[in-house]
Amino acid sequence: MSITAALLSARSGLTAVGARADIVATNVANASTPGYVRRSLTVNEILLGGETAGVQIGGVERSTNERLTVERQRLGSDLAQAEVLSSTWAALSQRVGDDIDNSMLFQHLTGLEEAFQNAVQSPESTTLANEVVLKANNLVDEFNNLSAVITQERQRADQDIKETVDRLNAALLKVEKLNESISGVDRTTSHAAALFDERGRVLDEISEYLPIQTFPRDSGTIDVLTAEGVYLLGGTAQTVEFTPTSTVAPGVTLANGNLSGLSVDGLDITPGAVTFGAVSSGSLAGLFALRDSDLPELEMQLDTMAQDLINRFSDPTLDPTNPVGSPGLFLDTNAAAGEGVAGRLQLNALVDPDRGGAVWRLRDGLGAVTQGPPGNNTILTNLSGAFSTVQSINVPGLQGGFTARDLVAQLGTLAGQKRIQNESVLTSVQVQFDAAQRVEAEKTGVDIETEMQDLIIIEQAYAANARVIEVVNQLIQELIEL
């Protein structure tokens, strides 16, 4: 090797070492940056006339592992769904009460039952009769309030779906623009690596909304599909379509066409739908499950309890003064409306002084025009006994014979079971996701200790190349002095 070749080799070595140092510095600076993939520098030998003439920078490589990333994104979809369901059921369980000690509905029912028992002992007492009316209104209010809570949660889920779809569509447009940027740059540069990292972060965001798969195309671009195979981006981004509903009342469902599903270019991808493209997980699947399945079932169970209360106290054998077919102690203000009876439950105004009624009708009968004997407790005894009558119930989650107490106690039990079930799923998926994320980070992330070791090697290489240049300069100087 000539002196000139040695000098050129050393200078190219210094250039490569400097570039490596820049890469290490970038890695260290971004060690905790979400979505950052470790970078390394590739170098190639320079050959001139069949002889080595130093090194040249080949480009920047990213330490990707597609298999690990795909698995982590899949679990991320499952985790997002589990978080939506778990957080909602935790809030519902707290409001409903997951046992009889924490259930306001159960407490109000037992309070009413005890008030009736006291009134039976002293039928002449207006104070005790007023207590019955107070407790009855408290129970009605709790039914109404719980129904409103469920409706609000369904409304919130519908609105959250809209906001999630908006974010999803915006993210797909970002991927489209990043594809365009990547296709127009040298993919071996640090700039391209940054674009790939940013696209990876956007794909991570999308995978939280629904599970996806990607396919590489020319010039570093990708297509994005749902896990079920529906195109979300193929050159250009598709628009995921959803129409929010202003009021998600009981009885307003996807099945009867009153709620919007999810679609892409006319293809139905609604979670839970019987179609090949139905989204299987992600936060969207969790929100649709709440709006269209979990919450309507809870409303149906609450309605069943409210209807049971109406039926118990409208039995014509309890109150001979009340004409057959007339409302009993409790009534549905719009029975023809169907679903949502818990929200329409009301105490019969005939016994409520605040609405023009009289408490003595609890003792003398709803059909009584004037007060009867103050010591007659027959009707009060009948009404009190209605709580312990076993009624047959057959709806999802509630099958069998129940007293009033047993039936109402089931609501808290069902909510508690749902909470525990979803917490268990969340815990399991969280463990799996954390493990997948950790393994991926070990393969693709930045390890500070490794970078510091590389920095030592870089320092040594820099010193060695600088020493070569120094020696060559000395040789040249000696030649000049000859």
Per the CB < 8 A criterion, the answer to whether 239 and 169 are in contact is yes
Percentage of the chain exceeding pLDDT 70: 99
Which residue type occupies 321?
T
pLDDT 10s digits, 256-290: 889 999 999 999 999 999 999 999 999 999 999 99
Number of H helices, E strands in the chain: 12, 13
The mean-pLDDT minimum among 46-60, 195-209, 286-300 falls in 46-60
Global pTM value: 0.91
Distances 478 to 186, 470, 475 between C-alpha atoms, Å: 44, 12, 5
pLDDT 10s digits, 163-183: 999 999 999 999 999 999 999
- The predicted model gives 59-81 an average pLDDT of 95
Q: Which long-range contacts (CB under 8 A, 24 or more apart) does 123-129 make?
A: 123/363, 123/374, 123/375, 123/376, 123/377, 123/380, 124/374, 124/375, 126/359, 126/360, 129/359, 129/360, 129/362, 129/363
CA distance 313 to 478: 117
CA distance 393 to 57: 77
For the record, the structure tokens of 235 come out as: 């050159």
The structural domains of the chain, with segments of one domain joined by +, span: 3-63+447-481, 69-433
Which residue type occupies 366?
L
CA distance 290 to 257: 17
